Amino acid sequence: MRTFEIVLLLTVTILPFIKRRLALKIRSGYLLILLGSLLAIHLLFEGYRWQMIPAYILVMILGWRIYRVDVANKVRLTILRTSGYIGVILLILVAWVLPSALPVFSLPEPRGPYTVGTEEIYLQTDKDETITQEPDDKRELVYKIWYPSDADVADLQGENYVDNASRAGFATKYGLPPSAMNYLDHVKTYVYRGLPVAEGSYPVLIFSHGYGSKATGYYALLTELASQGYVIINMNHTYESLGVTFPDGRMKYFDYEFQNEIASGSMEVVKPIVDVFKTDLDYEQRHPVVREVVKEYFEGRIQDRWAEDILFTIDQLGKWNSEGLLKNKLALDKVGVIGHSVGGGAAGNAAIQDSRIRAAVNLDGIQWGKMIDTTYQIPYLYVSADWPAEHEDINSHVYINKSTDYFYESKLLNSGHPNFMDIPFQIPVPALAGTGEIDAYEGMEIVSRLVTSFFDRHLKGLENTSPEQTGSQFDLLEMKIYQGDSVR
């Protein structure tokens, strides 16, 4: 929470229980001025947000009670008065919980030598759109580009956090009106729209988001990577992200009907995996069962579609490098892919199909499909959340063959699946967010440093850094390193 929010909440929490004693020493008018001033300062410098409505109501109740207080009357704990105090206490609890659970949060400040610019690129493809019901629909893609800049941003204000379509999709997912996300306008970002790209050319990272998540809800990670000298092409897989805004103002959202259709019967398909992990079968006995399900599960088809989007995007890099904002800024021989959740699996899927991809990162995604029968030919980093022991470790079977190059298998301890997103900052209550007990800022620092060191070593070719060195710096990061057939 912000400073004046805390001051206001402390005031409306304490004042109901001491207002009568204060009124014996201080004129009620002064108390009203104090209360009104605190509210005005908060609204002026921090701005209104709906999570503070219970606090605003308490200000009005307190103002009325201070105005009406009669210090000469002896206080009697009547049923009505007792009920009033109980109601105030309940309102105070709500007043603290709402802004604490959905705060105006602070994103980590990027540590790299560059400032970060952003821009959008829109493409109308000639590919059929398989998700919608209209036979003439063609696939449309909107990319958010994050890039390094040398521009001075001291007098500039960062862009708004997350586009309106993603906000509205997030609100709808949790049964809230879109306006409930307006408080995100108060979140400070460290990215600036339309800056010039820094001199030189930079490695390119194609980033694929989680299924049914905010495509651009990874500000902490992507801002840090761009500040370290990478151009990030932030995918937005239309109809399977929470929202996308097209240049003409159209907004498209996650297609829940399509999800229900493709997921129909999926529990029966995956049930053999769930069952086999509950038995006493060893790895070799379990593997054939896992293999068959991994190749058939519906998320594999999602990852196939998304891998097509990624490979189509790589096809566009040459054009983008010859004109417009990114002209001569892309090191086309240094292309990496990275994704989270289903996007992590899609990134890995694309990496086994296209030799233009030189390194890949999967952030806590199960890689369904055909990887289980093949081997990577490039450096690969897999970062897992700290799942409970009873969780089915499917990727231990998927990555049985690992890579002919470096394969880094790591785990972020005390983390949950959303710890790779901005969710731990937006909802800092692990029980609500599904995050682990790891501090949100520490978790993001570990992940961003690990990913940066991986790409620095395997895309930029920097000899003085490696994931192994990063792993040794943090107690909450476990890592095994494989090089070909050997374990390091």
pLDDT digits (tens, 9 = 90+) for 177-235: 888 899 999 999 999 998 999 999 999 999 999 999 999 999 999 999 999 999 999 99
Average pLDDT, stretch 85-113? 90
Average pLDDT, stretch 93-99? 89
> Using CA atoms, how far apart are residues 130 and 126, in angstroms rounded to an integer?
12
Q: pLDDT tens for residues 2-27?
A: 899 999 999 999 988 887 778 777 88
> Using CA atoms, how far apart are residues 195 and 206, in angstroms rounded to an integer?
20
**pLDDT band (50, 70, 90) for residue 115:** very high
Q: Report the candidate in 209, 166, 168, 163 with the shortest Cα–Cα distance to residue 185.
A: 163
**pLDDT band (50, 70, 90) for residue 486:** low
- Residue 476 corresponds to which tokens in the numbers above? 């909450």
| DSSP-derived secondary structure letter, 376 | B
**Residue 71, pLDDT above cutoff 50:** no
> Using CA atoms, how far apart are residues 106 and 188, in angstroms rounded to an integer?
7
- Is residue 249 classed as helix, strand or coil in its secondary structure? coil
pLDDT attached to residue 482:
95
pLDDT attached to residue 74:
52
Q: pLDDT tens for residues 128-176?
A: 999 998 888 999 999 999 999 999 999 899 999 999 999 999 999 988 8
Average pLDDT, stretch 328-343? 98
| Average pLDDT in the chain | 92
> Using CA atoms, how far apart are residues 123 and 389, in angstroms rounded to an integer?
44
115-487: CATH topology: Rossmann fold (3.40.50)
pTM of the full structure: 0.90
Q: In the chain, pLDDT over 70 holds for what percent of residues?
A: 95
All structural domains of the chain with their residue ranges: 3-101, 115-487
**Residue 80, pLDDT above cutoff 70:** no
Instruction: Count other C-beta atoms under 10 Å from residue 420's C-beta.
Output: 29
